[in-house]
């Protein structure tokens, strides 16, 4: 339905009004009529379309003024205009009032009209083009047949030496920053200037002011400047009307991701304001609205192609870096090293010059479960007919009813609010560090019905392998051979198998692993054929929490078919680690190449492994997130 407003005539007076193309004016002719007027006629210029509505029945009015209608309280005119005016007040409607039998008008009222075209436009059909006046631009829907414009959160840093992310200030330092923003165009057409008392205003609501920012392109042809006009403390901006057919270009950035109290939808409005008389506030006579959905924060699973690997340089990880470099040379990836002046001694950080988001709890205590080895994502899955084309986020938590550690509520709420990768809570509080990447990962298997396999740490698989080697006569094979400082005792397969306390601890660990296995099968729609068990052992501290007994091979880096696996330093049999040989026998037939990386001194002793000390930037999903059906 077009926007409508009422204009009241005053007999004997000239009334001026602006009609925005696509709207209707309702003109009250009865209230303006002289007391003894019984009928009326009207004339209008060709640029105006007029209907007389009498007792609910509409009749098109011709321009020549020969029609005559009876006056009644329900009498009203319906006006519209289809072409913008070239001059102010260039179109006119004249109403003549008559007494009952008089053929000469006893009075008349005039309405002088200026037609203006106003359209605030965005890419509502998501094809990369800001089309004109899309009828669905003010709403937003999900799904492949959905509509509505999209907005990115500008949370990276195009200029490396700036202290904060780009969305934290009101400036554009480089045109590269514009690639993180969405275009919005205000299209106008009309006379060289607006009639006196009218102006256009672009504005946002107070509730959206901390979620969206708008920049105006000033002087677009000579020395472009980008002026911040909306967002934070700026709620409105008076738009300069340039006359004729014009397009004003704006760039819009998101300031916040969706969250518990923010659906992700923001709206921007333009209104034409009218001043009736000096001293009175302006009133809006026309408003056009566009709606954006801020893009959710999306994780990329191991099944997506790797682009670059990020790792920190530390005083004690030179050999680790060397082995990572050797692994990456086998791939098409780039290595990005975060040097000590940037990482400030934190070997676990995830890389410089990359978009990020933070959440800080107000009242909850932060634990190691809030570190992001405890934040993983599955490949795309279908569960009981429900599709998750971007996978599902996986986080570690405490055992139900145990009252243990959980990821803070503010982070869990944030992940849930992203909608497109519905989170699953696993049980990781049984581990000292408590991260899900300590017992699971995914590897790509393209071309299969399920294009991935879930790798899970398994103490049962480790004991089974060691018993097999013991039966083969290798019970005295030594673990950690050649590693000084790992243990003062000579650790063999026989000693591992005869250590009843260790056996019981790993039975407990396996029960925890099996609990997670069942959750993953249910929530990701997996079967046993989709899971590969990698040997692992754990030992418990005095509080009953577990840590890896030897470097945990499941905590690997996945670069397509090249896997960087923590070197386990397992029992040597014929000069080969039987743990490495077993893992290779499981993964090589699937096309994987395993490179075992020594992380024992630089990461394992600090309760982390290869995956903990690296991060992989991957190609984004080809699937469009807005096609998700929540």
DSSP helix/strand/coil, 508: helix
Give the Cα-Cα-Cα angle 212, 213, 219 (nearest 5 degrees): 150
φ, ψ dihedrals at 290, nearest 5° = -125, 150
* Cα–Cα distance for residue pair 265/263, rounded to 1 Å: 6
* DSSP class per residue in 288-321: EEEEEEEPPP----TTSPEEEEEEE--TT-HHHH
Tokens of 269: 């409005």
Determine whether 612 is an active site residue.
yes
* Strand partners of residue 215: 228, 251
- Paired sense of beta strands 4-8 and 24-28, if any: parallel
* Cα–Cα distance for residue pair 532/526, rounded to 1 Å: 12
Q: Return the C-alpha torsion angle 157, 158, 160, 166, nearest 10.
A: -40
CB neighbour list of residue 381: distance below 8 Å, 6 or more residues apart: 388, 391, 392, 524, 525, 526
* Strand partners of residue 198: 274
* DSSP class per residue in 251-271: EEEE-S--BTTB-SEEEEEEE
* Cα–Cα distance for residue pair 557/331, rounded to 1 Å: 12
Sign of the alpha-carbon torsion through 514, 520, 523, 524: negative
Sign of the alpha-carbon torsion through 509, 515, 519, 520: positive
Sign of the alpha-carbon torsion through 400, 302, 595, 329: negative
* Cα–Cα distance for residue pair 521/533, rounded to 1 Å: 14
- 3-state SS of 77-116 is EEEEECCCCCCCCCEEEEEEEECCCCCCCCEEEEEEEEEE
* Cα–Cα distance for residue pair 363/359, rounded to 1 Å: 12
Give the Cα-Cα-Cα angle 533, 484, 577 (nearest 5 degrees): 30
* Options 312, 338, 577, 612, the catalytic residue: 612
Conformation bin of residue 74: beta by default, left when phi > 0, alpha when psi is -120 to 50: alpha
* DSSP class per residue in 34-71: -TT--EEEEEE-TTEEEEEEETTEEEEPPTT----EE-
In 113-166, which residue ranges form alpha helices assigned H by DSSP? none
Q: Which residues are catalytic?
A: 612
């Amino acid at each position: 339905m077009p926007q409508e407003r009422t204009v009241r005539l005053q007999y004997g007076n000239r009334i001026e009004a602006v009609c925005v193309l696509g709207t209707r004016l309702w003109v009250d002719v009865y209230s303006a009529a002289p007391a003894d007027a019984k009928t009326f006629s009207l004339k209008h210029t060709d640029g105006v379309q007029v209907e007389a509505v009498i007792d609910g029945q509409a009749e098109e009015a011709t321009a020549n003024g020969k029609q005559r209608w009876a006056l009644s309280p329900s009498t009203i005119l319906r006006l519209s205009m289809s072409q913008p005016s070239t001059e102010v007040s260039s179109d006119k409607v004249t109403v003549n009032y008559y007494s009952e039998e008089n053929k000469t008008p006893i009075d008349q009222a005039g309405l002088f009209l200026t037609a203006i075209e106003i359209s605030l436009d965005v890419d509502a059909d998501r094809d990369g083009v800001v089309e004109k006046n899309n009828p669905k631009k003010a709403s937003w829907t999900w799904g492949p047949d959905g509509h509505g414009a999209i907005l990115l959160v500008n949370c990276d840093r195009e200029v490396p030496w700036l202290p904060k992310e780009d969305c934290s200030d009101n400036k554009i330092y480089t045109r590269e920053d514009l690639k993180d923003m969405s275009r919005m165009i205000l299209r106008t057409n009309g006379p060289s200037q607006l009639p006196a008392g009218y102006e256009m205003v672009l504005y946002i609501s107070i509730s959206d002011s901390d979620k969206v920012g708008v920049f105006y392109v000033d002087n677009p042809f000579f020395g472009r400047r980008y002026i911040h006009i909306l967002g934070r403390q700026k709620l409105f901006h008076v738009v300069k009307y340039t006359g004729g057919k014009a397009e004003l270009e704006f760039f819009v950035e998101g300031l916040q991701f969706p969250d518990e109290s923010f659906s992700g939808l923001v709206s921007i409005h333009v209104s034409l304001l009218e001043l009736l008389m000096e001293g009175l506030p302006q009133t809006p006579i026309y408003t056009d609205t566009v709606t954006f959905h801020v893009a959710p924060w999306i994780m990329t699973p191991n099944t997506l192609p790797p682009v670059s690997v990020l790792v920190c340089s530390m005083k004690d990880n030179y050999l680790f870096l060397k082995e990572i470099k050797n692994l990456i040379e086998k791939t098409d990836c780039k290595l990005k090293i975060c040097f000590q002046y940037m990482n400030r001694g934190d070997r676990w950080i995830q890389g410089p010059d990359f978009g990020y988001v933070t959440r800080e709890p107000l009242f909850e205590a932060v634990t190691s479960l809030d570190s992001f080895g405890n934040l993983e994502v599955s490949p795309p899955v279908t569960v009981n007919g429900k599709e998750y084309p971007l996978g599902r986020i996986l986080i570690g938590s405490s055992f139900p009813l145990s009252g243990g550690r959980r990821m803070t509520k503010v982070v869990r709420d944030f992940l849930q609010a992203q909608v497109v990768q519905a989170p699953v809570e696993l049980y990781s509080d049984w581990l000292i560090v408590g991260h899900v990447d300590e017992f699971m990962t995914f590897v790509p298997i393209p071309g299969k019905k399920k294009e991935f396999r879930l790798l899970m740490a398994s103490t049962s698989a480790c004991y089974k392998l060691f018993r097999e080697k013991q039966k083969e006569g290798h019970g005295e094979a030594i673990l950690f051979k050649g590693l000084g400082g790992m243990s003062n005792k000579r650790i063999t397969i026989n000693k591992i198998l005869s250590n009843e306390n260790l056996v019981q601890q790993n039975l407990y660990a396996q029960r925890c692993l099996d609990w997670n296995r069942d959750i993953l099968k249910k929530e990701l729609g997996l079967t046993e054929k989709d899971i590969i068990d990698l040997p692992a052992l754990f030992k418990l501290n005095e509080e009953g929490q577990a840590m890896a007994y030897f470097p945990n091979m499941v905590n690997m880096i996945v670069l397509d078919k090249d896997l960087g696996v923590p070197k386990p330093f397992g029992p040597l049999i014929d000069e080969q680690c039987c743990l490495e040989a077993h893992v290779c026998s499981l993964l090589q037939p699937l096309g994987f190449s395993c490179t075992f990386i020594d992380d024992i001194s630089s990461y394992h002793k600090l309760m982390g492994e290869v995956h903990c000390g690296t991060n992989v930037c991957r190609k984004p999903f080809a699937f469009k997130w807005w096609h998700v059906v929540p």
